[in-house]
């Protein structure tokens, strides 16, 4: 598994959620192999679009060499919980808002996340990941998760 943060986050929420959940080429307009795992897309979109910060959201994915069938639902839940705890860096879980979307359309599992960049308690900006400060912590989490669950390690 690797952790990848995308370089988006300044536009409206529709861009990220359209990428994660929609496909105009499909008859029903929905992306095949995409499933909402956690969170509320409508409320997250409203929250993100209401923010006046330059960087309104942080998105990325946990990308696995393993297929979706090789990772249990319980493991996915544990990974999402522990990743959120790592990203929160001591903040209570009710102070951040995150949506998780699973992708299975590439023959492997991706757990995509979208954090609203605000502290829900105070309404102030909360940047969940700053590369220069958080890279070591997130890489340590990734390394521990790969060992604990026996996932393929790109290192």
Which of these, 31, 27, 26, lies nearest to 16 by C-alpha position?
A: 31
Give the total residue count for the chain.
155
How far from chain centre, in Å, is Cα 14?
15
* Residue 105 exposure: Cα atoms within 13 Å on the Cβ side: 15
Place of tokens 């400060």: 133
CA distance 99 to 118: 14
Does the active-site annotation cover 149? no
Annotated catalytic residue: which of 19, 57, 129, 149? Answer: 19
Catalytic residue annotation: 19
């Amino acid at each position: 598994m690797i952790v990848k943060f995308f370089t988006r986050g300044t536009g409206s929420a529709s861009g990220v959620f359209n990428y994660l959940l929609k496909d105009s080429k499909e008859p029903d307009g929905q992306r095949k192999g995409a499933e909402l795992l956690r969170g509320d897309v409508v409320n997250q979109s409203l929250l993100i679009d209401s923010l006046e910060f330059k960087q309104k959201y942080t998105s990325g994915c946990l990308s696995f060499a393993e297929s979706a069938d090789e990772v249990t639902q319980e493991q996915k839940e544990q990974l999402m919980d522990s990743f959120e705890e790592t990203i929160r860096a001591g903040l209570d879980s009710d102070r951040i808002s995150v949506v998780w979307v699973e992708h299975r359309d590439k023959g492997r599992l991706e757990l995509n996340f979208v954090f609203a960049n605000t502290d829900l308690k105070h309404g102030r900006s909360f940047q969940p990941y700053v590369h220069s400060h958080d890279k070591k912590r997130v890489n340590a989490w990734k390394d521990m998760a790969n060992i604990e669950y026996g996932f393929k390690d790109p290192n």
